[in-house]
Amino acid sequence: MKITKILFTTLAMLLVASVAFAAEGDAGVMSAKAYATALGMGLAAGLCGIAQGMGVKGACEGIARNPEAAGQLSTTLILGLAFIESLAIYALVVNLILLFVV
């Protein structure tokens, strides 16, 4: 019951928020851009999080099978996580450009 109340309250705030920007001429376009960039960043962050989890899982399994290779696996893991995180940062930059420039 409480979760549905929170859900409907949040939905009502999202639907009414565009009225606050009604004084501007392109409130609907700005609202659509905001939703699109939020969805894009959420999707990118979620998928990057899944990829990072899979990478850590693989490294942990590799270290468990061959403890002597822990140094090499850790180095490769850190490098791979940095590359995955850079994809999320690129997605953030693209979303901010789409939101404020286009």
3-state SS track over the chain:
CHHHHHHHHHHHHHHHHHHHCCCCCCHHHHHHHHHHHHHHHHHHHHHHHHHHHHHHHHHHHHHHHCHHHHHHHHHHHHHHHHHHHHHHHHHHHHHHHHHHCC
Predicted local confidence at residue 50, as pLDDT: 94
Residuewise pLDDT in 10s, the chain (102 residues): 778 877 777 776 667 666 555 555 555 667 788 888 888 899 999 999 999 999 999 999 999 999 898 888 889 999 999 999 999 999 999 988 888 887
The domains of the chain are located at 23-100
* Domain 23-100 fold: F1FO ATP Synthase (1.20.20)
